[in-house]
Structure 1
Amino acid sequence: MYPWARALNSAKSKPNMLIYSMAKTPQRETSFHWIGPVALFHLGFVTNQSPQKIQIETLEDAKQYRLAVQREDVAAQVLHKLGFEFIETADIQQSYHLLAAHKVDLVVDDPRYISAMAQAMKLPDDQFRYVLDIEPLSIKGYLAASLATDPELVAQLRAAYQQLIDTPLYRKALFE
Structure 2
Amino acid sequence: MKRPWRCAYLLESLALLLGLSLPALAEEKLRIVTEELPPFNMTIDGHLTGLCTEIVEAILDEIGETATIQSMPWARAYDIATNTENVLIYCMARTASRELKFKWVDTIAQTDWYLFSLNPNLRLNSLDEARRLQIATVKDDAGEQYLIGQGFAVGQNLQSSNKYEHNYEKLLLGRVDLWIANEPNAVYLVRSAGQDPAQTLHRALALANLGGARGLSMAFSLKTPDATVERFRTGLQKIRASGRYDTITRKWQ
Q: TM range, normalised to the smaller chain?
A: 0.7 to 0.9
Query: What CA deviation, in whole Å up to 9, does each residue of 1:147-171 have, x standing for no partner?
Result: 3445543332121122244466757
Residue identity matched to 1:9? D
**Is 1:23 aligned to residue 93 of structure 2?**
yes
Aligned to 1:131: 204
Equivalent in 13, 33, 38 of residue 108 of structure 2: 38
**Is 1:64 aligned to residue 132 of structure 2?**
yes
TM superposition score normalised by structure 2:
0.58
Kindly indicate whether structure 1 or structure 2 has the higher relative contact order, using CA contacts under 8 Å at least 6 residues apart: 1
Residue identity matched to 1:114? A
TM superposition score normalised by structure 1:
0.79
1:46-125 superposed matches below 5 A: 46-48=116-118, 50-52=119-121, 54-84=122-152, 85-120=157-192, 122-125=193-196
After TM superposition, where is structure 1 displaced by more than 3 Å over at least 4 residues in a row? 13-16, 147-153, 164-173
Q: CA separation in 2, counterparts of 1:104 and 1:124?
A: 19
Residue identity matched to 2:169? H
Q: CA separation in 2, counterparts of 1:119 and 1:151?
A: 41
Is there any run of 5+ residues in structure 1 with no aligned partner, and where?
none
Q: CA separation in 2, counterparts of 1:58 and 1:154?
A: 38
Q: CA separation in 2, counterparts of 1:23 and 1:138?
A: 5
Report the count of equivalent residues.
Answer: 171
Residue identity matched to 1:17? V
Aligned to 2:75: 5
SS at match of 1:28: helix
Q: CA separation in 2, counterparts of 1:168 and 1:162?
A: 10
SS at match of 2:140: coil
Q: CA separation in 2, counterparts of 1:108 and 1:77?
A: 11
SS at match of 1:79: helix
Inter-CA distance 27–62: structure 2 relative to 1 (3 Å threshold)? closer
**Larger fraction in strand:** 1
**Larger fraction in helix:** 2
The alignment-based identity, stated in percent, is 25
